[in-house]
Amino acid sequence: MLTAALIVGALLVSPQAQASIEQQRQLFHDASAALERNQMSKFNRLLKQLDDYPARPYLEYDAFRRSASQLKPQQAELFFRRFADYPFVYHARGKWLSVLARRGDWENYLDFFDGRENTRLKCIAFQARLKLDRLENINADIAKVWLRGYSQPSECDPAFEHYLASHEQADKVIWLRIEKAFKARRPNLARYLGKKLDQQSRATVETWYQAHIRPERSLRKLADQEDSEHTRAIIVHAIDRLARKDSLKALKQWNLIRDHFEFTEAQIDQSQLRIALSAALQHEPEARALLASLEPSVMNDQAYLWLARIQLRGRDWPGLKETINRMPSHLQQENEWQYWLSRSMEAEGQLVDSLGLLEQLSGKSSYYGFLAADKLHRDYHIEQENAASSEIDEETFLSANPHLLRARELYYLDRLIDAKREWFQALRYLDQDGIKQAATLASRWKWHDSAIRTVAKTPHRSDYSLRFPMPYKQQVLEYAQVRELDPSLIYGVMRRESLFDPLARSSVGALGLMQLMPSTARLVARSLGMKRPRKSDILRVENNIRFGTHYLKTVMNRFDNNVALAAAAYNAGPSNVQRWLPRDSSMSADLWVETVPFRETRNYVQAVLAYSTVFDKSLGKNTLMSSRMGDIRTEY
């Protein structure tokens, strides 16, 4: 149990260290292991030896989490006050709130509740207010959670029951949430909410549900329904759903049905825009006309961008120039559209204006800057600038920045989540010079992902040593030779995938430096005659580079060593790339990349190509980016 004596222990860093920093780190690990085994006497003894160690409070945090259910409110309050400046306090308070909820200690729950946005804890606070009859403005507060189109935690049920029971227009707010649920593509929630309505309304919700699940069939039935507000809303929803699957079928149904109902102007605009955007995404030939027919007031950023990309794919240079000139200024001024405006001017013989735009772009160390430089036969503008002096006195700098000092120790203790929380809390209090120094230190520690993210907060985009480091060089060069791959390309992929964080995990489960899905890693391991790797095996640097370069070589071979296609396949899969190939004739790679339907993949390919070019400079190579971008054929 976390004792009161432990809570009030000294925290200040003593100038007389009891052990070297390495010994302190080992003591920390030993104390952590003792706590894990519930060896509290040993834990407390080791903790006393760490009085001057910056990361010591994290052991107390661990102890708090383990013993929270046994603590008294006074002990918890003392803990939160002592460590008020530590990022872990937010999470410790969340743990403590759950303890109080389990106890049914509603008075203390409300005293400790900090108004956080965590929905479960917020709804428990509603429960506490209901139990204690603190009802002032409670319905207005509950409404903010109720009016969400997603299922909410079960802890919200008592608050929702109170809200509906005391609301003068309960049916109205139920319908509002049903509409939000369908819009959020949560039909089962909408169906559940419909059970709270009368029989006729339940039937309407069921019709809407069927329109969500089987839009084409439902639209044929809806055509014979009487005009009503709900029928129109259901039809618009069904058109949206069908368009996402088959835009031309949606267009046919819309043309058959639109004149038989009194749709609002907004509903008409919404349906036509959805059909046009879906047709563009599905590469339908009709997409250009559908987008071009939209009223200017209906056009949004997506519509302008898709129309421009369709005109690009069709080499409609006059149309492209007109569309770019009609774009909102925030789009028009982007490097992307300045480059393509230049290309459209070139195609129309306006060479002076075209060259002027290319001149401006060619000085930028970016994808479009490199494309422009290649067009002008200019050298790339990749000149190293040092963001901060290399002569940083680390201990002096960190002694003035306790968050950074703790972040360093947590990083070396392999507590990366805690380290990042401390690190980015520290950056809030640093000026630009301090941020530059911090980025340099993170790079010195080989904490590359934090160094890259940190220097990105400064104007120093040209500190390539910080933004484009080359860790794991021995392994990268070895596998580049074994796989006959360009090491710059491997580094480009690695930089884009993980920012060189060997423990990176994506939201979809990709792992490590080269962000391998476990299924892909297992297929590669099998082809290499290796045993089935566990996730921990995939995260090992040696394995990750071995598996990642093997897969990269596979997609390079699959697409005839075209880097643009291979990068797209690495990101989105070879089958998608196959579908995106031009249908009638070859096209230049810059055109093809620009018309990839997935924005994530489009950005990914551009980044890998540009990053590879920067790494060329570090490796002493003068490879043109365009040499990696051969024309895209119709078949591979």
Q: pLDDT at position 20, please? A: 87
Residue 465 pLDDT more than 70?
yes
The span from the first CA to the last CA of the chain, in angstroms, equals 65
CB 82 within 8 A of CB 8: yes
**Are 558 and 433 within one domain?**
no
pLDDT class for 353, splitting at 50, 70, 90? very high
Residue 32 pLDDT more than 50?
yes
Q: pLDDT at position 9, please? A: 32
Q: Into how many domains does the chain fold?
A: 3
**Last residue in a domain, options 92, 114, 136:** 114
Q: Is 415 left (phi over 0), alpha (psi -120 to 50) or beta?
A: beta
**Are 506 and 600 within one domain?**
yes
**Are 497 and 405 within one domain?**
no
Residue 235, domain member (yes or no): no
Choosing from 60, 284, 422, 497, the catalytic residue is 497
Q: pLDDT at position 460, please? A: 84
CB 531 within 8 A of CB 607: no
CB 160 within 8 A of CB 136: no
Concatenating the DSSP letter of every residue in 135-201 gives -TTHHHHHHHHHT-SS---GGGHHHHHHHHHH-TTHHHHHHHHHHHHHHTT-HHHHHHHHTTS-HHH
**Are 554 and 433 within one domain?**
no
497 is a catalytic site residue: yes
The Cα 327–Cα 313 span in angstroms is 18
Q: What is the DSSP letter of 14?
A: P
pTM, entire model? 0.87
pLDDT class for 31, splitting at 50, 70, 90? very high
**Are 453 and 523 within one domain?**
no
What residues pair up with 632 in beta bridges, in sequence order? 587
Q: What is the pLDDT of residues 103-129, one digit of tens each?
A: 999 999 999 999 999 999 999 999 999
**Are 490 and 402 within one domain?**
no
**Are 520 and 450 within one domain?**
no
Residue 5 pLDDT more than 80?
no
**Last residue in a domain, options 426, 461, 496:** 461
Residue 291, domain member (yes or no): no
> What does the chain come to in residues?
636
The Cα 198–Cα 476 span in angstroms is 66
Q: pLDDT at position 590, please? A: 95
**Are 457 and 506 within one domain?**
no
What mean pLDDT comes out for the span 601-619? 97
The amino acid at 107: E
Higher pLDDT, 10 or 130: 130
Residue 399, domain member (yes or no): yes
Q: What is the dihedral of CA 488, 489, 495, 497, to 10 degrees?
A: -170
Q: What is the pLDDT of residues 220-250, one digit of tens each?
A: 999 999 999 999 999 999 999 999 999 999 9
Q: What is the pLDDT of residues 406-427, one digit of tens each?
A: 999 999 999 999 999 999 999 9
- SS3 letters for 524-542? HHHHCCCCCCCHHHHHCHH
The neighbour count for residue 585, using CB atoms within 10 Å, is 9
**Are 510 and 576 within one domain?**
yes
Residue 90 pLDDT more than 90?
yes
Percentage of residues in the chain having pLDDT higher than 90 = 92
Residue 424, domain member (yes or no): yes
Helices (H) and strands (E) in the chain, counts: 39, 0
Residue 17 pLDDT more than 90?
no
Residue 224, domain member (yes or no): no
Domain range for 103 is: 4-114
pLDDT class for 1, splitting at 50, 70, 90? very low
**Are 489 and 618 within one domain?**
yes
Residue 332 pLDDT more than 70?
yes
**Are 425 and 453 within one domain?**
yes
- Chain-wide mean pLDDT for the chain? 94
Least confident of 156-165, 358-367, 379-388: 379-388
**Are 8 and 64 within one domain?**
yes
